[in-house]
Amino acid sequence: MIFRVLFFIFVLVPAMILIIPAQALINALRLPFWSVLPRLFHRIGRVFLGMRVTVIGQPATGRPTLLVSNHISWTDIIAVGSVADVTFVAKREVGEWFFVGMMARLQKTIFVDRTRRSDAGRTAQEMGAHMAGGNAVLLFAEGQSDIGTHVLPFRSALVGAAQHAMVEAGASDVMIQPLTIAYTRLQGLPVGRTERSLIAWIKSKSVGQNIREILGGPVKEVTVAFGTPRPLRDTDNRKLVTKAAENDVRAMLVALNRGQKLPVVAG
């Protein structure tokens, strides 16, 4: 814990003082390398949080990509953001949180109001416009975080809306890519269901309680596994496309939770 306090004071705070205004300027000028500083910040953040990230596969690059993933904890964003240049889709409430909302906007996070069906169209348009520029957008397709032992059914509504929005925005050669996040070890030991509750952000916990458990917990080993990307066409059946991605994510999560090895391409 002492290490994290010192790291926060002498590394994380100075980094934020430099990165926040620089990123705000980069965004304001609409410079193409806007994702460089967020990725650096996430790499610093994962050291502070005691996270070791292993990457399996690789994100599709150089083309518009919709990443669909399971969701376990807010630390998923740090893990994925440290290894891939992506824009996240988050619930509207996140944008209203003190400091977190500001940091999310600096990374061009797209917010969705899940209490209003009509908001899906606006969100999809933002996703389509961003991907039309050759960028990647990550959607936590379960619609909520879970404990990490299994994958909840993926919601196909935003995937379908994004299909049409991408075409309208001029995006071509769009890919949909499954992404699995798995917390495999704590302090070098395999993670059981009890230990998962110290990581996962579940409804029975307050934000403060979850943050305290993460900051006070041991080193966390996280695997970020990129599956095989597939073409995403406007004419594809959104439910079938979403279900195929869900099955891929579930298969990878089960394998990783069982300790089965997959080829490591990068780390």
Average pLDDT score over the chain: 88
pTM exceeding 0.95: no
pLDDT tens for 83-107 read 999 999 998 888 988 899 999 999 9
C-beta of residue 127 within 8 angstroms of C-beta of residue 89: yes
C-beta of residue 130 within 8 angstroms of C-beta of residue 170: no
Q: Which two tokens stand for residue 152?
A: 């909840």
- Rounded Cα–Cα distance for residues 237 and 235 (Å): 7
pLDDT tens for 139-165 read 999 988 888 899 999 988 888 877 777
Number of neighbours of residue 83 by Cβ within 10 angstroms = 21
SS (H, E, C) 107-159: CCCEEECCCCCCHHHHHHHHHHHHHHCCCEEEEECCCCCCCCCCCCCCCCHHH
**Dihedral sign, Cα of residue 167, residue 170, residue 174, residue 178:** negative
